[in-house]
Amino acid sequence: MSTVTAPLLKHPGKEWPGHTLVVSEPLRLDCGIDFGPFTIAYQTYGRLNAERSNAVLICHALSGDQYVAEPHPITGAAGWWTTLVGPGGVLDTDRYFLICANVLGGCMGTTGPKDVNPAAGEPWALNFPVITIRDMVRAQKLLIEHLGIEQLFCVIGGSMGAMQVLQWASSYPESVVAAVPIAGSARHSAQNIAFHEVGRQAIIADPDWCGGRYLSLGRNPAGGLAVARMAAHITYLSEAALHRKFGRNLQDRNAVTYGFDADFQVESYLRHQGSTFVDRFDANSYLYITRAMDYFDLAAEHGGSLPAAFPGTQPRFCIISFTSDWLFPTSESRALVHALNAVAANVSFVEIETDKGHDAFLLHEPELFATLRGFLTGCAEHRGLTRFWA
Amino acid sequence: MADRSAALRFGTGADALSMATPAPGDLRRDLRLIAEMIEPGARVLDIGCGDGALLAYLAREKAVDARGMELSQSGVNACVRHGLSVIQGDADRDLDAFPAGAFDVVVLSQTLQATRRPRHVVEALVRIGNRAIVSFPNFGFWRIRLSLLWRGRMPVSELLSNSWYETPNIHLCTIRDFVRLCDEIGTKIERSVTLDRHGRPFSLDPRGGLANLLAEQGMFVLSGKAASVRS
């Protein structure tokens, strides 16, 4: 990938804006390792009420982070859910206390493979333990307890965020009032694992990856990571959306050049996606987090029965899918609805018509906003949550 | 996809949002009759709930645990926007997921005739609900009979407002047909009400010929418990 040039990670070990919690007690991970001490980096918006009943945990997706509603500290881009968060917004900061933590294994402040392994005095790299979605949620539970919150009003997230929402409902049903998994699934499909494997192999095949030890050696597999991001990004869009945005339009030229430059706008767009991603993301984190998604299978944790994954009194669910999402298609959400029906859980399920594909949960999608607002307001009234400034 | 609720309900989708929180007097007459049959605090599933008018009324006036299922996306979205628990789903396909006795009352209002497998649907209703309230247009109504007899064409009425080639109503039946179906699957009819076109009730024995001739709609309360001893 000679066209993608990226510097070394610009901010190794830099302090990010926001809060951190240092967990000193080791956390038992699914892989059997007791991991710790480790750091959880998180952001909050709004304020916690006296009853501590208005907390909303936002779970970010694979390439997301805790900067939900403020400029990203590296790229300066707007927060990934700025459209939802604010006073009077769908995630109303005058009513809710919003929390978003960088996932375990991430690269924006929560301990991940790019951080220094104290025992070795160099970055963890591939010595970092393999983590799961459940491990991420276990870490979030520790954070919530640290904040003195017994019960979350809502856990919400899209894509990998939806996986965490489902894991919360499964592991800690009594700690969640409302669960909103968007464009998600109770398991990662074979096709999704296959796409992730392509991305990982692109990173591993980059000579600068160096068996994962690139940070210790002063190198960065930016080309491999960019290709991984490019391939993944295609899966986040729909054919219709790609066609609508780019068609076969050429990039800054009137004719094809009979070479391998980015003749087409869609190529230029993907290269841009790849090159900006490597500025803010760690290649090993990408390996670890995609692996966590691959391993996710809620039914498998419960003898192959998805209904069995939702014991006890379940939260109120609002399950949302998008018609053009072929990565986490509606059929996955419907399977989830059936499983929750089987345990007579309180479920709303909305499939939203859009051509924007999987990424629709991040975009301006009025039907999504109206659905979320209606559901959350209904749950808030049910809980007696009022706004601070009515 | 056929929007079965739109075919038979007087308002659906965004233009009927105000119906989601109706005053008691605004609720359609036949829905009000259904509401009167439901105990406060009951667990209710309304299948084909349209824009959620009945659910919203029940939730507010009777504090029921109100759930809905609706085929049309616009109907589901309108419901969820108003804080109702509604899933996008199809009576033919999505009832099997519920466990037996999941609800105190299951409501299927003016939807049975649009299902692909009405018998399977009725069996599912009495399985998942302790009681099922089913209403449907009576194809044995005298005006419908006359229309077919005199005009020789498929009847189009206020309740059956689509032409034959675009109607979602693929399994029309008479009151007598429905009573026979209940007998066949061993479901006990707890109560029956015959209605005129405006949803005004009048009492006639559903097994008598007069009901089948004079009622424009039939409404039946089925007992779920009898379903376990099917003949």
Q: Indicate the pairing of strand B103-109 with strand B129-137.
A: parallel
User: What is the radius of gyration, based on Cα positions, of chain B?
Assistant: 17
- Reported as a single tens digit per residue, the pLDDT across A129-177 is 999 999 999 999 999 999 999 999 999 999 999 999 999 999 999 999 9
Lowest mean pLDDT segment, chosen from A186-190, A194-198, B109-113, B197-201:
B197-201
Domain that holds residue B102: 4-229
Q: State chain B's mean pLDDT as an integer.
A: 85
pLDDT digits (tens, 9 = 90+) for A369-384: 999 999 999 999 888 8
Confidence of residue B113 (pLDDT cuts 50, 70, 90): very high
Total domain count for chain B?
1
As a whole-number percent, the residues of chain A with pLDDT over 70 amount to 96
Which residues of A are designated catalytic? 159, 325, 358
**pLDDT mean over A228-249:** 96
Band of residue A248 on the pLDDT scale cut at 50, 70, 90: very high
Min Cα distance B90 → chain A (Å) is 11
ipTM of the assembly? 0.83
What is the distance between the alpha carbons of residues A79 and A85, in angstroms, rounded to a whole number?
9
Quote the pLDDT of residue B13: 32
Are A378 and B65 a contacting pair at CB < 8 A? Answer: no
pLDDT the model gives residue B73 = 85
User: What is the 3-class SS of A254-280, one letter each residue?
Assistant: CCCCCCCCCCEHHHHHHHHHHHHHHHH
For chains A and B, what is the number of CB pairs under 8 angstroms?
A: 69
Element (H, E) at A143: helix A133-146
- pLDDT tens, A250-275? 999 999 999 999 999 999 999 999 99
- Structure confidence at residue A322 as a pLDDT band (50, 70, 90): very high
Confirm if B48 and B132 have CB atoms less than 8 A apart.
no
| Smallest CA–CA distance from B76 into chain A, residue | A350
Instruction: Choose the mutation target among A348, A353, A369 for the interface with B, i.e. most B CBs under 10 Å.
Output: A348
Of B34 and B15, the one with more pLDDT? B34
Substitution target in A182, A336, A350, A368 with the highest count of B β-carbons within 10 Å is A350
CATH of the domain at B138: 3.40.50.150
Mean pLDDT for all residues in chain A: 94
Q: Could you give the domains of chain A?
A: 19-190+297-383 (3.40.50.1820), 192-292 (1.10.1740.110)
Residue B168, preceding bond cis, omega within 30 degrees?
A: no
The model carries a pTM of 0.90
| pLDDT for the residue A152 | 98
Closest Cα of chain A to B83: distance in Å? 4
C-beta of residue A293 within 8 angstroms of C-beta of residue A118 = no
